[in-house]
Structure 1
Amino acid sequence: MKIKRIGVAAIALAAAGALTLTGCTSGSPSSSGAAGDSSAIITTNGSEPQNPLIPTNTNEVGGGKILDAIFAGLVYYDAKGAVHNDVAESIESDDAQNYTIKIKPDLKFTNGDPVNAESFVKAWNYGAALDNAQLSSYFFGDIEGFSLDENRPELSGLKVVDDLTFTVALVQPESDFPLSLGYSAFYPLPESAWEDLDAFGENPVGNGPYMLDGEGAWKHNEEISLVTNPDYDGPRKAQNGGLDIIFYASQDASYADLQGGNVDVVDQIPEAALASYADEFPDRSVNQAAAIFQSFTIPARLPHFSGEEGQLRRAAISMAINREEITDVIFEGTRTPAHDFTSPVIDGYSEDVPGSEVLEFNPEKAKELWAQADAIAPWSGTFQIAYNADGGHQGWVDAVSNQLKNNLGIDASGNPYPTFAEARTEITNRTIQTAFRSGWQADYPALFNFLGPLYGTGAGSNDGDYSNPEVDALLKEGRAETDIDAANEKFQQVQEILFKDLPAVPLWYSNVNGAWNDTVDNVEFGWNSVPLYYQITKAAE
């Protein structure tokens, strides 16, 4: 499978150069030119968010899809992952460590509150404060004043200069800091949010191309209804009247609605339809590489999975899995066996990281490693992989479990949770007592984003509580590089260590598999697998 790689060299700094992101944006993505009804509502699939919709406490796909529609950040990413200004007028630095950010004038939230420097700085300070326990606090960890040891209500590295200007001082130079600013953790919040943040999370007020369709727009476990924001005049201005995101209980249900003409666009295809959906929706389907990595995580707190014994068992499990067979049979070739912990569409990706042979199917070696682990402490119990049943994961979990049974001679099985939110709650609370499905849909297109948030000590998405000081040091060194190639060398060294420790077992890279009905035009899927909803047009009914 040939996979296009997306370069991010445009944001790399020369050693003595200056970084400037300024101006508006490139033109809108190409379209078929089909006219649409500007009031037509686009319907699509989604999942119930894990938490109330507060940007700094949302780090999963269901909530992220909604936040990206109702908020506008300093920058946004186009279909290919390139960065362009949205709210920012300019982002400037002479040293990749000290940034001056200017905001476009006269921008407002949908309740009339101004979008200004304070709306960013206050939101970032809240997200970074230890006492607020925000899932995305890790993203503020490189700003001066951040601490994991004591609560600090304000970051010393954030300063409001005037109404439309603020500065950011980092603890060290970071080559990809401007690139990260399109992630939802960096969204602004209106002044009204601070009156009752819990209530705000249930009925968020944003500044993006869409807004909630009044009180009760979010029907929990059913759907959320968005309408266009008439005051948004940025580069993602909606070409339709709104967006209804339906929280389906299964991929089969959303696909059945697509077949019946009851939903316009879906970005997930159930396993049973992977071989046929392109024929059923000719010229209205997609199978393209996306920045999505799939794995399962084995927490070190589980019996038999710490220390030398744990390393041996993790490697044995990895080598007992025939990834190529599963991607061919279960996924009809719509997945690619993993060669690393990142994604082939990200600049700096390599299939040849030392240690990656642990991902090759080798049942004889797997048995040998398992026996070595048994010599340290005999295996007892069962091995389970938890997953959310509403996400279409049963097929591959059962296949992996059967391979572990056959190749290691152990009792292995899946452990289904009815919904994504239920599974994530136990994972986040550390009450889950099994391995669990994991993975990553990139927040921004850079190798670091697949590594730091998942494997850095104390990182918000480090659900297995992995900690390795050498990994932490290399992550820090890589971010300090002002040259992207030099930074990526450090990140590849991180992966060499991860292949030894295997805090998560890499499985495959996911393509985005989606389809749409003839009711809509101008459908394009982005680098991160999410449709660019704002550019979709729909004919009047």
Structure 2
Amino acid sequence: MTRHVRLTVTAVATVAALTLTACGSGSDDSGTSGTSAAGPAGSGQSGAGSGAAPAGSGAGAPAGGNDAEVSDAVVKLVLNQDVDTLLPMDSNVGDNIGVLDVIYDGLVRYDPKTSKPYNYVAQDIATKDNKVWTIKIKDGLTFQNGEPVDAAAFARSWNYSAYGPNAVANNYFFERIDGYEPMQGEYEEDDAGKVTVTKEPTAKELSGLKIVDPLTLEVTLTAPFAGFSTMLGYTGFFPVAKACIDDVSGCAVKPIGNGPFQVDQWDQGQKLTASRWDGYTLPESPAFTGIEWTEYAGKSSWPDFQAGDIDVSAPPPALWAQANADPDLSSRKVESPGAALTYIGFPLYKGKPYDNIEFRKAISMAIDRKTIIEKILPGQAVPATSWVVPDGVPGGKAGTCEWCRFDPAAAKAALAKAGGWPAGQTLTIHLGKDETSEQYFKAIGDSIKLNLGIDYKLDPTPDFFDRRSSRGFTGIFRNNWFPDYPLNENYLAPVYGGGDAKKGNKNLGFYDAKFEQAIKAGDAAPNLDEAVVKYADAEKILAADFPTVPVSFSQNVAFYSERLDNVVLDPFSGSVELRLLKIKQ
């Protein structure tokens, strides 16, 4: 099954506008998941046979705001994407996830420094065989409308997501659970979101979900998967209230969460406001009373930040040097390694020249990544030499991409070996509509033209994802992957796996039986340490096939106002960790 792609545009950094998604990519062609992915895997498992230590009930978690003095203040933030829903089951882009991170709580959360998962709503997550998982939920938790947060709350959410005709973005996350396939059926969704079912599903609930008692959920997977517990902090696994299922459209605009903040009002396209929920009982709550997000939809928020109307922003590329040269501004800058991969995809399903590996090598070695980044995204990205972020998740290692070096002579030789570029034709570069992305890929196109003599044109389009999933591209296309959970598998299987042996996978047309086998071997490993090694083998196979060209990994950067303190960026999304943020008195 092919996974949806989401946009990775964070609320703070310009580079986020270049990030496409883990789940794939919003208004741009990027995506974000919101779950961090680094540090030793396996800390989310417990139970004999799992081969991992228990996640614990919060040990090692960041200190929460409930124990800190709360400031009667409103933090003013930015939404760079066209946010269209706050329904957890349908939210898989960076800005949606950033909002939902304080509106909802998941079974696990991720340490912002190490990205290790730790239990949060879950009291315990245990398995003996990595196939049957028992999840115990903390007692006494409620949604903001008073409904209990219990096993039924998770089961109803997961069943709604898994039911194909509901057509939610996070549907594919549940394909590992028994009973998923009978819930799919066949359906079509038009541009307005209207779903027409052509073949009814034969089931409406996952057979692999069993409510053992009000606070215990048993999950049976179709096959062992050592990384299952690491997935459970992702937005798609959040619980939902029954009232939310009864009024899905209303919940998409004003969700009924179980987190420390509740949505007050959302003027879509303009502002979203939220306030502290007095009924919150868990330890991690922001130390302020309100949040106001202003929507910019890809436009720069920097002028408003300079005017004092926004608390967190980043300068556009043209003002980057100026901002960093300002002692006052640079003293209020925070930065950290990112994890979103920007890469070039090829329409392998179109045949020549894209299905020729020498052509793909030529494109890659013709790109002067270092110079382009220094010009367009100084300090906000680094050249990529792998498909998995190095040192960011277990198994990530630099240098797995042999042809990611800049080598014009080798690029010309590879192009000649591929038979050259068709005379008189122009290479189209497809991407989403975003000013910074267009600058970035214009520079990439210029580098290709300079070193290979191939004329190009940019095709920025607002319906990037629809065109990609319908195989409507005629040339190369910009992609971005932002991980959903801390495992190298998440950079590989969702993007390149699950395809048809003849037609390949949906977005690229890629398929390799050895790659599929390596992923399955990782899934079947008895513990995460061994699984990581098998997934690394899959990356080596991917490197030999070279179906895509890694271009850059994000660097998280944000400038913040004088009234903020303890500004910490999520290691993957780059957005501010609101539960750690403080307001100066």
TM-score by length of 2: 0.82
Whether contact under 8 Å (1:341, 1:450) holds in the other structure is: yes
Whether contact under 8 Å (1:21, 1:92) holds in the other structure is: no
Between the aligned partners of 1:396 and 1:24, the Cα distance in structure 2 is 41
92, 95, 98: which one aligns with 1:65:
98
| 1:122-521 pair list within 5 angstroms | 122-147=156-181, 150=185, 151=201, 152-213=203-264, 217-250=265-298, 253-266=300-313, 268-280=314-326, 281-302=329-350, 304=352, 307=355, 309=356, 311-344=357-390, 345-353=392-400, 356-374=401-419, 378=422, 381-390=425-434, 392-417=436-461, 422-428=463-469, 430-457=471-498, 463-521=507-565
CA change 1:212–1:525 in 2 (3 A) is same
By how many angstroms is 1:16 displaced? 6.7
Between the aligned partners of 2:437 and 2:393, the Cα distance in structure 1 is 25
Between the aligned partners of 1:136 and 1:350, the Cα distance in structure 2 is 28
| Other structure's SS at 1:288 match | strand
Is 2:143 the counterpart of 1:95? no
Between the aligned partners of 2:245 and 2:575, the Cα distance in structure 1 is 30
Match of 2:87 in 1: 54
Whether contact under 8 Å (2:43, 2:54) holds in the other structure is: no
Amino acid aligned to 2:125: I
Whether contact under 8 Å (2:131, 2:221) holds in the other structure is: yes
| Superposition CA RMSD, Å | 2.9
1:189-209 C-alpha deviation (Å, 9 max, x unpaired) = 110122232332232221112
Amino acid aligned to 1:125: N
Of 139-148 and 68-77, more deviation after overlay is shown by 139-148
CA change 1:146–1:433 in 2 (3 A) is same
Match of 1:10 in 2: 43
Between the aligned partners of 1:430 and 1:227, the Cα distance in structure 2 is 43
Whether contact under 8 Å (1:348, 1:485) holds in the other structure is: no
1:231-251 C-alpha deviation (Å, 9 max, x unpaired) = 222232121112222221445
By how many angstroms is 1:60 displaced? 1.6
Runs ≥4 residues deviating over 4 A: 11-19, 33-36, 428-434
Amino acid aligned to 1:481: A
Amino acid aligned to 2:252: G
CA change 1:255–1:389 in 2 (3 A) is farther
Amino acid aligned to 2:394: D
Between the aligned partners of 1:238 and 1:17, the Cα distance in structure 2 is 35
CA change 1:347–1:464 in 2 (3 A) is same
By how many angstroms is 1:167 displaced? 0.4
| 1:102-121 pair list within 5 angstroms | 102-121=136-155
Whether contact under 8 Å (1:36, 1:539) holds in the other structure is: no
Of 119-128 and 492-501, more deviation after overlay is shown by 492-501
Match of 2:25 in 1: none
CA change 1:338–1:231 in 2 (3 A) is same
Is 2:57 the counterpart of 1:23? yes
By how many angstroms is 1:516 displaced? 0.1
CA change 1:169–1:275 in 2 (3 A) is same
Amino acid aligned to 1:339: T
Unaligned runs of 5+ in 1: none
Between the aligned partners of 1:288 and 1:378, the Cα distance in structure 2 is 43
Between the aligned partners of 1:177 and 1:534, the Cα distance in structure 2 is 25
By how many angstroms is 1:183 displaced? 0.4
Match of 2:112 in 1: 79
Amino acid aligned to 2:410: K
Amino acid aligned to 1:329: K
CA change 1:474–1:130 in 2 (3 A) is farther
Between the aligned partners of 1:56 and 1:467, the Cα distance in structure 2 is 28
Match of 2:9 in 1: none
CA change 1:124–1:491 in 2 (3 A) is same
Between the aligned partners of 1:90 and 1:435, the Cα distance in structure 2 is 46
Between the aligned partners of 2:50 and 2:302, the Cα distance in structure 1 is 53
Amino acid aligned to 2:107: L
By how many angstroms is 1:182 displaced? 0.2
By how many angstroms is 1:15 displaced? 5.5
Between the aligned partners of 1:135 and 1:299, the Cα distance in structure 2 is 23
CA change 1:391–1:192 in 2 (3 A) is farther
Between the aligned partners of 2:77 and 2:161, the Cα distance in structure 1 is 30
Amino acid aligned to 1:347: P
Between the aligned partners of 2:507 and 2:262, the Cα distance in structure 1 is 31
Whether contact under 8 Å (2:44, 2:118) holds in the other structure is: no
| Other structure's SS at 2:301 match | helix
1:361-387 C-alpha deviation (Å, 9 max, x unpaired) = 122222222233337x84663223233
Between the aligned partners of 1:55 and 1:222, the Cα distance in structure 2 is 21
Whether contact under 8 Å (1:5, 1:347) holds in the other structure is: yes
Of 131-140 and 463-472, more deviation after overlay is shown by 463-472
CA change 1:265–1:403 in 2 (3 A) is same
1:416-437 C-alpha deviation (Å, 9 max, x unpaired) = 34x6xx4445445554554332
Whether contact under 8 Å (1:48, 1:221) holds in the other structure is: no
Of 497-506 and 443-452, more deviation after overlay is shown by 497-506
Whether contact under 8 Å (2:49, 2:127) holds in the other structure is: no
CA change 1:29–1:277 in 2 (3 A) is farther
Between the aligned partners of 1:114 and 1:471, the Cα distance in structure 2 is 43
By how many angstroms is 1:130 displaced? 2.8
Between the aligned partners of 1:270 and 1:196, the Cα distance in structure 2 is 40
Whether contact under 8 Å (2:141, 2:149) holds in the other structure is: yes
Between the aligned partners of 2:147 and 2:45, the Cα distance in structure 1 is 35
Whether contact under 8 Å (1:20, 1:93) holds in the other structure is: no
| Other structure's SS at 2:272 match | strand
CA change 1:341–1:136 in 2 (3 A) is same
CA change 1:211–1:391 in 2 (3 A) is farther
Between the aligned partners of 1:467 and 1:316, the Cα distance in structure 2 is 21
Between the aligned partners of 2:427 and 2:367, the Cα distance in structure 1 is 14
| Other structure's SS at 2:302 match | helix
Match of 2:198 in 1: none
Between the aligned partners of 1:283 and 1:62, the Cα distance in structure 2 is 26
| Other structure's SS at 1:194 match | helix
Of 51-60 and 82-91, more deviation after overlay is shown by 51-60
By how many angstroms is 1:27 displaced? 5.0
Match of 1:532 in 2: 577
Unaligned runs of 5+ in 2: 1-36, 186-200
